Structure 1
Amino acid sequence: MEIPKELITELEVPALELTALQGVNGVGLGMREENEEFFDELAVRVYVDDATDVPELPTQLADLPVCVVEFTIEPAFAPDISRRDLIVGGAQIEQAPLAAGTLGAVAMRNDDNTLVGLTCHHVSGDTGLRVFQPIAPPTPIGSTPDLTDSLGQVIDFDSPVTQTIPTPAGGTLWLGRQIDAAIFALDEADQHGRTFSNEIADGLGAVTQTLAPAEQMFVRKRGSQTGPTGGQIIGMALAVWWRRRSPPEGHQYAMAKQFEIFFNPGECPDGKFAQPGDSGSVILQSGTHNAVGLLWGADPNGRRAVMSDITIVEQRLNVTLVWDPP
């Protein structure tokens, strides 16, 4: 199923206006859905917190049917305790206690060929903060943190908080981005004798190519909480809330042009594609070593998730996931 670019452009403003309605947290384009059954028919997908309490919605937009999907999107982060001396994609990382996520991959900076860690901004925090593996040590005020498990400091990030000029729609001022991503140095890990791999854990291997994701593509990922799981991209989310920080009064944080994933029961032993702690996972095209996305959010039951286009992540942070070990 191909989504025409002109249709995406036509629906961008209506999507923001609908997302401003009470109870609506996003609008997308993709497969028509009824009771978790999917049809090979293009539809406007309206994500709501509660399917039993839906505001009045149009039945059609841009000559497409509108379907309502219960999908509460939350950034996925939580603590874990697995320590690794060889740093690989899929490992548990943490910037501060109770705010953990996943190292998507060890990437390479294009400007100086140094290795860095790639994850989500809402996992790593802002520039200058330290990222630890597996957990951040308690650091009382006025004390010096134990850097034994530190990987390094955040170098760069891009997320909705970096937009300063809002987009007005439906009485709301939107601050949005296409990615929630960050990179951090690995120098402190190197100083403590830890080594690095271009592979992703649990046999997913090294990334050999990065591609833009496509609707109906089957995908896999390795998250620090759910391990290796599989699903299918069922549509593009034109605009969804980004519920991580408090925006300025009268504004709302949003993510634009994200991709929605629905779990594959046969590849998700616990019935979950992702859960808290999996944010930052690199998404691979099934059966390949092609990276297509960076996972940043999921619904509470873990059956649905959202990711950013990995090619945009590489462009905005000036890194590559494809590199050869020395």
Structure 2
Amino acid sequence: MEIPQELITALEVPALELTSLQGVNGVGLGLREENEEFFDELAVRVYVDDATAAPELPTQIAGLPVCVVEFPIEPLFTPDTSRHDPLVGGAQIEQAPMASGTLGAVVLRNEDSTLAGLTCHHVSGDTGARVFQPTAPPMPIGSTPDLTDSLGRVIAFDSPVTQTIPTPAGGTLWLGRQVDASIIALDEAAQQGRTFSNEIADGFGAVSQTLAPAVKMFVRKRGSQTGPTGGQIIGMAPAVWWKSGSPPDGHLYAMANQYEIFFNPAECPDGIFARGGDSGSVVLQSGSHDAVGLLWAGVSQGGRRALMCDITMVEQRLNVTLAWAFS
């Protein structure tokens, strides 16, 4: 489904204003939905924590019908214990004990042709934070942590935290970005004798290329918590809350131009596409090795919906390449 850029642009400010309402998580564009049944008709999708307690909303925005979607959007991170050596995409990582996510892939840094680990900023923490695989050891104040499972430190990140000029909307100042992503040095892992692969676990293989996602595209991912699951992109969101970190007083964090995924029952045996701990998973187009997104949000206890950012924007913002091979 082609969504005109002028419609996305026209919806950006109204989306931020609606997202300022209590209980509203974000506003998107995509397939019209009624009771989890989808129609081949463009609609404005308003995401709410609780559909039974949603605020009063317009029936149309920008000439399109409005559908209310219950989707309590949360960054997905939680603990796991699997260890991968060689290191591959889909592995569990931790920046601190009990704050886990997924290593999306081992990527190539364009500036110096070194390898790095790709995940979400809300998983890895800020530049200089040390990341472990599979779990972070206890780190009492004043002690030296055990570096056996350390990958290295965060090199760079891009997320709403990096925006410095806010966008006014509905009496709120928004700080936003199109990606929630970071890269991690792998030097400490190499020092421990660990090796690295450009593949993603569970037979997903290596990424062959990156493509911009599109509404109605079928996708799959391998997360550290739910393993391989599949779904379909059913909408894109000009603005959704990014409920991570602590924005300055009077400000809120937002993500722009995100893509919403709804599960495919045939590829999700337990009815769950993603849960806490899957943030950072690389999302591929079904039936291919083409990467289209980086998963960062969903329902923490497990749900049928998730959000991802455009993987081509991740590559651009962090100056990395997912499809690489050393000769």
TM above 0.5, one fold?
yes
Shift of 1:56: 1.3
Give distance in 2, aligned partners of 1:243 and 1:306: 13
Q: 1:170-189 alignment to 2 at 5 Å?
A: 170-189=170-189
SS in 2 for 1:96: coil
Question: Within 5 Å, which residues of 2 pair with 1:94-109?
Answer: 94-109=94-109
Query: Superposition RMSD on alpha carbons, in Å?
Result: 0.7
Structure 2 counterpart of 1:61, one-letter code: I
Contact 2:223 2:279 in 1 (8 A): yes
Native 8 Å contact 1:197 1:325 kept in 2: no
For residues 246-285 of structure 1, what are the structure 2 equivalents within 5 Å?
Answer: 246-285=246-285
Cα distance in structure 2, aligned partners of 1:218 and 1:299 = 20
| Alpha-carbon distance, 1:325 to partner | 3.5
| Structure 2 residue 319 is matched with structure 1 residue 318 | yes
Corresponding residue of 2:229: 229
For the residues of structure 2 that align with 1:292 and 1:131, how far apart are their CA atoms? 25
* Aligned partners of 2:276 and 2:299 also within 8 Å: no
Residue 102 of structure 1, CA deviation: 0.3
Q: C-alpha separation between the residues in 2 aligned to 1:131 and 1:23?
A: 34
Alignment partners' CA distance in 2, 1:260 and 1:201: 23
How far off its partner does 1:210 sit?
A: 0.1
SS in 2 for 1:81: coil
Whether the 8 Å contact between 2:49 and 2:72 is mirrored in structure 1 is yes
Q: Could you tell me whether the CA contact under 8 Å between 1:92 and 1:102 is conserved in 2?
A: yes
Q: What CA distance in whole angstroms lies between the structure 1 residues aligned with 2:88 and 2:105?
A: 6
Deviation at 1:249, TM superposition (A): 1.3
Amino acid at match of 1:163: Q
Cα distance in structure 1, aligned partners of 2:314 and 2:77: 19
CA deviation after TM superposition for structure 1 residue 299, in Å: 2.0
The answer as to 2:26 corresponding to 1:26 is yes
CA contact (8 A) 1:101 1:224 kept: yes
Matched, 1:302 2:303: yes
Measured after TM superposition, the shift of residue 23 of structure 1 is 1.1
Structure 1 counterpart of 2:257, one-letter code: K
Deviations 1:174-217 (A, max 9, x none): 01100000001001111111100000000111000100000000
Q: C-alpha separation between the residues in 2 aligned to 1:317 and 1:76?
A: 21
- The 5 A counterparts of 1:132-211 are 132-211=132-211
Q: Please state whether the residue corresponding to 2:146 is helix, strand or coil.
A: coil
Structure 2 counterpart of 1:6: 6
- Aligned-partner SS, 2:30: strand
Runs of 4+ in 1 over 3 A off after TM superposition: none
Instruction: Show the counterpart of 2:215.
Output: 215
> Map of 1:28-107 to 2, 5 A cutoff?
28-107=28-107
Render the CA deviation track for 1:199-251: whole Å, top value 9, x for unaligned: 00001110001000000000000000000000000000110001111211111
Q: Which amino acid aligns with 1:309?
A: D
Partner of 1:117: 117
Q: Secondary structure at the match of 2:108?
A: strand
| CA drift at 1:117 | 0.1
Corresponding letter in the other structure for 1:70: E
Alpha-carbon contact 1:24-1:48 (below 8 Å) kept: yes
Q: 1:62: how far off?
A: 1.0
Letter in 1 for 2:71: F
Letter in 2 for 1:125: G
Measure the CA separation in 1 of the matches of 2:197 and 2:165. 39
Post-superposition shift, 1:169? 0.4
Alpha-carbon displacement from aligned partner over 1:25-51 (angstroms, at most 9, x marks no partner): 100000000000000000000001110
Per the TM alignment, residue 127 of structure 1 is displaced from its structure 2 partner at its CA by 0.5
* Partner amino acid, structure 2, of 1:165: I
Q: Provide structure 2 residue ranges, at least 5 long, that are not aligned to the other structure.
A: none
The CA deviation string for residues 249-278 of structure 1, in whole angstroms up to 9 with x for no partner, is 111111000000000111011111100000
Shift, 1:108, TM fit: 0.2
Q: How many Å separate the matches in 1 of 2:48 and 2:81? A: 34
**Contact conserved, 1:46 with 1:68, CA < 8 A, in 2?**
yes
Task: Supply the AA of the counterpart residue of 1:167.
Answer: T
Looking at structure 2, the residues matched to 179 and 252 of structure 1 have their Cα atoms a distance apart, in angstroms, of 16
1:81: how far off? 0.8
SS of residue paired to 2:230: strand
